Amino acid sequence: MGNRTGTSNPQLQSLIVELRKKAQVDRVPLWKRVAFDLEKPTRMRRVVNLSRLNRFTRDNEVIIVPGKVLGSGIIDHKITIAAFDFSDGAVEKLLKQNCDVLSIEELLVKNPKASAVRIMG
């Protein structure tokens, strides 16, 4: 079996480093967990459909997905969602429902203490 080399995406590498620093400086374990999840191979990262978000979230909730959000299903309430990647269909449906769609970096700046943020996946 070959040696694990980690991600080769420079944007993802810098995000992981930034999340680890923020976790240590602000003592927020959520950022450390997100960094850990993002370090996994692409095949093992979380993938979440809108139908799942619709079932397990409430109105005006803040959600983070350390992976990709796909557009299968509908969402019928407003949420704030941050993820590493979104499909085009997911972004279109979320914006139609007036949801806030953020990157993980934007959520890190907007909510550094990660108050009232849940991980989905």
Q: What is the pLDDT along the chain (121 residues), one digit of tens a residue?
A: 566 667 788 999 999 999 999 999 999 999 999 999 999 988 899 999 999 999 999 999 999 999 999 999 999 999 999 999 999 999 999 999 999 999 999 999 999 999 999 999 8
Give dist(CA 53, CA 76) in Å, integer. 10
The domain 10-119 is placed in CATH, from the list 3.30.70.120, 3.40.50.300, 1.10.3720.10, 3.100.10.10, at 3.100.10.10
Give dist(CA 5, CA 48) in Å, integer. 26
pTM given for the model: 0.90
Give dist(CA 75, CA 120) in Å, integer. 15
| Residue 46 and residue 67 in contact, taking contact as beta carbons nearer than 8 Å | yes
Taking the domains of the chain in order of start, what are their residue ranges? Answer: 10-119
